[in-house]
Amino acid sequence: MSIGPGLTMAEDPRYLMRIEPVVTFVADQSDPPRQQFVFAYTIRITNVGTLAATLVSRHWVITDGEHRVQEVRGAGVVGQQPTIAPGETFEYTSGASIATPVGTMRGSYQMVGADGQAFDAPIETFTLSVPRTLH
């Protein structure tokens, strides 16, 4: 989204979010013979911008090792629509299930700044992997 001459939302210092995922394989909820691999992911969202922003919705693209794609869209995260002030962090844990021992997730959070400006906070691709599966 362009906001002025030569600037995109991702480059505007008012609208910057750092997103850090940590993934854990959930063995006791998985069933490999039935091609069910469950992962928990904890996401830390830190507002490194200069304006408070509210996370209003999410969009995930989850891809398994056979290139099957699931898209997930919804309001907020874990039933919340947190407002994150500059310098503050919001953290939550959720989960995903795929049919292969390795896959990826990527996506974005749709945010609204304190000034009313909507913007996307991109979530870079991260790996879902059963331990000792990847070299």
Domain of residue 87, residue span: 2-124
Report if residue 134 sits inside a domain: no
Is residue 132 domain-resident? no
Neighbours of 131 (CB within 10 A): 9
Residue 64 lies in a domain: yes
84 in a structural domain: yes
Number of domains in the chain: 1
Q: Please state, in angstroms and rounded to a whole number, the distance separating the CA atoms of residues 42 and 91.
A: 7
pTM: 0.87
For 62-103, the pLDDT digits (tens) are 999 999 999 999 999 999 999 999 999 999 999 999 999 999
| Tokens matching residue 58 | 């999410």
Return the CATH number at 90. Answer: 2.60.40.1470
